[in-house]
Amino acid sequence: MTSEETLKEFNLRVTKIRLAVLDSLSQSVGALSYSVLQEALDKFDRTTLYRTLLTLSDHGLIHKAYEAKGESYYARCFGCTGIDHNHEHLHLKCSKCGGVECVEISEQLKENLAQLPFEEVNIYAKGPCASCAA
């Protein structure tokens, strides 16, 4: 599905910046930090970018994968809705390249988490990412 089709599917108006943000995140292997996004999309103003990230998060198209030292990292969502994000994966912050990746967790771990009375689960891991470990 293209970014344009995705926006339409979520009943969101198609704008240049929404397409640009979705394209950047879809093409990236890992999550992108706010400053990297800002640099890549510097033809849009900062307020618009910030609001776009909020809108896309609210509607379940992207999620905040990691947050540190005031810097947020964003990644594409798959299978989330505007009502709730359903992230059954963990976020790996690479200790070598500093990248952030979404990593699938086992069915067993998903089942264990489903039995706990949590409203939201965020699992962070630190270590070399797949490309740095190779």
Task: Note the residues at the interface with Zn ion (CB under 5 A).
Answer: 63, 65, 75, 77, 80, 85, 94, 96-97, 99, 102, 129, 132
Minimum distance from residue 123 beta carbon to Zn ion (Å): 10
H/E run at residue 50:
helix 46-58
- The residue (of 35 and 42) whose beta carbon lies closer to Zn ion is 35
DSSP structure string for 60-94: TSEEEEEEETTEEEEEE-SS--SS-----EEEEEE
Minimum distance from residue 109 beta carbon to Zn ion (Å): 15
Separation CA 24–CA 55 (nearest Å): 16
Minimum distance from residue 105 beta carbon to Zn ion (Å): 11
- The residue (of 46 and 96) whose beta carbon lies closer to Zn ion is 96
Separation CA 46–CA 42 (nearest Å): 8
- The residue (of 29 and 45) whose beta carbon lies closer to Zn ion is 29
